[in-house]
């Protein structure tokens, strides 16, 4: 199994990773996306459908613009914070051990 897999995780996993930075880090980020459909720059909100954890502990959030329904994705660097990185790697290891219960895709999927 390749180490470059992106693993689908839940919002609860993100809360666990970011802890007290969840509101400032994740919630703020999904409300400051850029949408090419309605041309909102840094003020489009993502209606989140999937969250992917990559091999370096960062997140790829995918969904649609709440205003015009254009697909949007946003890359969130959570690996810059040691505690978030450590928790992300623990979540990743758990998911890989029981991969049959989780969605995975090749990096850049």
Closest residue by Cα to residue 22 from 32, 33, 11, 7? 11
Instruction: Please state which of the ranges 8-12, 70-74, 76-80, 98-102 shows the lowest mean pLDDT.
Output: 98-102
Q: Would you list the domain boundaries of the chain?
A: 6-102
1: pLDDT strictly greater than 50: no
- Give the global pTM: 0.86
According to the model, what pLDDT value does residue 44 have? 95
- Contact status, residue 31 vs residue 22, Cβ threshold 8 Å: no
Output the six-digit token pair for 11. Answer: 């919002």
- Contact status, residue 88 vs residue 17, Cβ threshold 8 Å: yes
According to the model, what pLDDT value does residue 106 have? 79
- Contact status, residue 63 vs residue 55, Cβ threshold 8 Å: no
On the CB side of 53, CA atoms within 13 Å amount to 31
Quote the mean pLDDT of the chain: 88
3-state secondary structure at position 91:
helix
Q: What is the pLDDT of residues 35-86, one digit of tens each?
A: 999 999 999 999 999 999 999 999 999 999 999 999 999 999 887 888 889 9
């Amino acid at each position: 199994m390749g180490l470059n897999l992106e693993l689908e995780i839940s919002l609860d996993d993100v809360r666990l990773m970011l802890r007290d930075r969840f509101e400032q880090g994740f919630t703020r980020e999904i409300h400051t996306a850029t949408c090419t459909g309605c041309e909102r720059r840094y003020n489009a909100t993502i209606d989140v459908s999937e969250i992917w954890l990559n091999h370096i502990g960062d997140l790829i959030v995918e969904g649609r613009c709440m205003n015009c329904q254009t697909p949007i994705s946003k890359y969130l660097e959570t690996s810059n914070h040691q505690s978030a990185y450590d928790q992300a790697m623990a979540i990743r290891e758990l998911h890989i051990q029981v991969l049959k219960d989780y969605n995975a895709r090749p990096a850049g999927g």
